[in-house]
Amino acid sequence: MRQILTAIIVAASMAIPSLGAAQQVDFGGLSTNTKAPVEITSDSLQVDQSTGEAVFRGNVLVVQDDMRLKAAELHVEYGQTQSEINRLIASGGVTLVSASDAAKSQDAVYDVRNGNLVMTGDVLLTQGDNALSGNKLTVDLTTGTGQMDGRVRTILAPGGQ
Residues 17-38: tens digit of each pLDDT = 343 445 555 655 666 788 889 9
| Least confident residue range of 11-20, 100-109, 112-121, 137-146 | 11-20
Residue 20 pLDDT: 42
Range 72-88 average pLDDT: 88
CA nearest to 109, candidates 138, 92, 89, 94 = 89
Where residue 149 sits, what CATH number does that domain have? 2.60.450.10
Amino acid at 52: G
Residue 135 lies in a domain: yes
Q: Is the pLDDT of residue 87 over 80?
A: yes
- Does the residue 8 lie in any domain? no
Residue 145 is predicted with a pLDDT of 85
Per residue in 39-77, is it b (16+ CB within 10 Å) or e — as a string?
Answer: ebebeeeeeeeeebebbbbeebebebbebebbbbbbbbb
70: in domain: yes
Look at residue 160 and tell me whether its pLDDT is greater than 50.
no
Residue 91 counted as domain residue:
yes
Which residue range is the domain that position 68 belongs to? 16-155
The answer to whether position 56 is within a domain reads: yes
7 within a domain of the structure (yes/no)? no
Number of domains in the chain: 1
Residues 40 and 67 sit within 8 Å (Cβ to Cβ):
no
User: How far is residue 40's CA from residue 35's CA, in Å, rounded to a whole number?
Assistant: 15
Residue 1 domain-assigned?
Answer: no
Q: Record the pTM.
A: 0.78
pLDDT tens, 105-121?
A: 999 999 998 999 999 99
Between CA 54 and CA 45 the distance in angstroms is: 7
Is residue 88 within 8 A of residue 74, CB to CB? The reply is yes
Give the CA angle between residues 44, 116, 33 to the nearest 5°: 80
